[in-house]
Amino acid sequence: MIRPYTAQDDRRITYNGNKIFPSIDNVVGSDFPASEVEERVRQFKENTMWGHIARINHRINVSANDFFDSIGALFTTLPLTTRMISSPGAVYGKEAISYTSDTSPVTLRWFDLPKRAFLAESSQIYLELALMQHGVDQVYSVYNSFRKEFADETHLSEFHHIEYEGKVGQDENERIALGLVGRIINDLLNHNEENLAFFLDESKLNELGDLGGNIADVSRITYAEAMSLLYDDTKDEIYKKFTMDGTFGSWEEVRLTQIIGGMVAVREYPLLEVPFYHAIKKGSDPPVAENTDIIWPGYRETIGSGHRVRSKEELERKAEIFDLPKEDYKPYLQTRELADYFPSSGFGLGWERLLQGLLEMPFIWSAVQFPRGHNTLKP
């Protein structure tokens, strides 16, 4: 199985190695190496790896744009500064939903405005607004995202999102997300096999081809089923609780793909423990979201997706629970008041995470030319 990592019984996460990086006993808690990444320019000249990564990144960009063009999605230019972050629980509703940790935004002053601004941590809200344009049914963006989080083995403080939003249901949205991944894998194997082979041996390339060719058949389970599988595997009582609070982190994601034997799509997370814009799964008890995270084999969540809140009434209830500042989110709230509003679904794919998983790299900064962590802005 394709897998950068293995989740060990003692809760270590070991790195399995590829053709250029040796195995590592435990990657958990790895520090972002500021001194290493500040030497990137010299490394570019001395290490041929970076030329291969540059060509792989180029193909991902071409493939993504071609894929979205083929389904009629329109590229949309968007701002990086906002008052409407996609996951405001970390700022506004923290006491009510202290377990919401999806994001912590980077703040800044915007000229002389009295309120602080945020750097976008997702394009999702603005993509939803873009669907209000006449005759526009599908949109996408490829933009930077910023999160005030310490960089570690699978996180960067600034990264890139490939994001999609369309007037489709969640099942179709999930199909489109997987279709994008399959298109990227197949295009890389068809056009950039030499670059992939710098990192991956022939058996891994074959596994990648199998994944790309059978992407529609990925295993699909609910979050409750994921907890049950983890409990059966570990006998740890924490997995009997239907919550994400301290029960579903990096070790669990890696371990779950080992249990399943490959990529897995996990659906229907606890409703109030995911961002406010996810719709409730109708008839669910306990209430769950109509959402899906897609976890790369032996690695982490690479795509987050979901159906958006459908009605003004449901959105207003969420606004109260999450303590949403209605003045700032007025444009978003207004969308549900439009007579011809049509519910949408969307997803975000983390570019750097995809690359790390794809090339089976030990650390996310090892796959990125100009990584941004919490302790350096160089080069």
Dist CA 215 CA 192 (whole Å): 19
| Residues 259, 244: Cα–Cα separation, whole Å | 19
End-to-end CA distance of the chain: 36
Answer for the pair 222, 267: CB distance below 8 angstroms, yes or no: yes
The secondary structure of 213-241 as a DSSP string is HTGGG-EEEEHHHHHHHHHHHH--GGGGS
Give the separation between CA 113 and CA 221, rounded to whole angstroms. Answer: 46
Q: Which two structure tokens, joined as six digits, stand for 99?
A: 């377990």
Strand bridging mode 107-108 / 117-119: antiparallel
The CATH number that applies at residue 179 is 3.30.930.10
CB atoms inside a 10 Å sphere around CB 25: 9
Q: Is residue 146 in a domain?
A: yes
**Domain that includes residue 306, residue range:** 5-367
Please give the Cα distance from 193 to 200 (Å, whole number). Answer: 10
> CA 271 → CA 45, 123, 309, distances in Å?
49, 21, 11
- Tell me the pLDDT of the chain (379 aa) as tens digits: 889 999 999 999 999 999 999 999 999 999 999 999 999 999 999 999 999 999 999 999 999 999 999 999 999 999 999 999 887 765 665 544 443 445 678 999 999 999 999 999 999 999 999 999 999 999 999 999 999 889 999 999 999 999 999 999 999 999 999 999 999 999 999 999 999 999 999 999 999 999 999 999 999 999 999 999 999 999 999 999 999 888 999 999 999 999 999 999 999 999 988 889 999 999 999 999 999 999 999 999 999 999 999 999 999 998 888 888 889 999 999 999 998 999 999 999 999 999 999 999 999 999 999 999 999 999 9
Instruction: Tell me whether residue 377 is in a domain.
Output: no
Render 77-138 in DSSP notation, one character per residue: ---SEES--S-GGGTTSTTTTTT--S----EE--TT-SS-EEE-S-SHHHHHHHTTSTT--E
| Angle value at C-alpha 20, between 18 and 25, nearest 5 degrees | 60
- Is there a domain that residue 378 lies in? no
User: Domain for residue 30, yes or no?
Assistant: yes
**328 DSSP 8-state letter:** T
| Strand pairing class (81-82; 107-108) | unpaired
pLDDT in tens, 250-306: 999 999 999 999 999 999 999 988 889 999 999 999 999 999 999 999 999 999 999
| Strand residue runs (E) in 9-85 | 13-15, 74-75, 81-82
Whether the upstream peptide bond of residue 325 has omega within 30° of 0, thus cis, is no
Burial class, 188, CB count within 10 angstroms (exposed 0-12 / middle 13-18 / buried 19+): buried
Please count the structural domains in the chain. 1
Q: What are phi and psi of 111, to 5 degrees?
A: 50, -125
CA Rg, the chain, in Å? 20
Q: What is the pLDDT of residue 368?
A: 97
Contact predicate 208/196, CB 8 Å: yes
Residue with tokens 């795509």: 303
219-222 and 264-267 as β-strands: parallel, antiparallel, unpaired?
parallel
Distance (Å, rounded) from C-alpha 291 to C-alpha 279? 8
| Contact indicator for 142, 64 with CB cutoff of 8 Å | yes
Q: Which pLDDT belongs to residue 101? A: 47
Q: Hunting for tokens 């891994």 — which residue is that?
A: 204
Which residue is listed with tokens 């022939």? Answer: 202
Torsion of CA 26, 32, 34, 39, to 10 degrees: 60
3-state secondary structure of 80: coil
pLDDT of the residue at 148: 87
132-159 CB burial, b ≥16 within 10 A, e <16: eeeeeebbbbbbebbbebebbbbbbbbb
Q: What is the pTM of this model?
A: 0.95
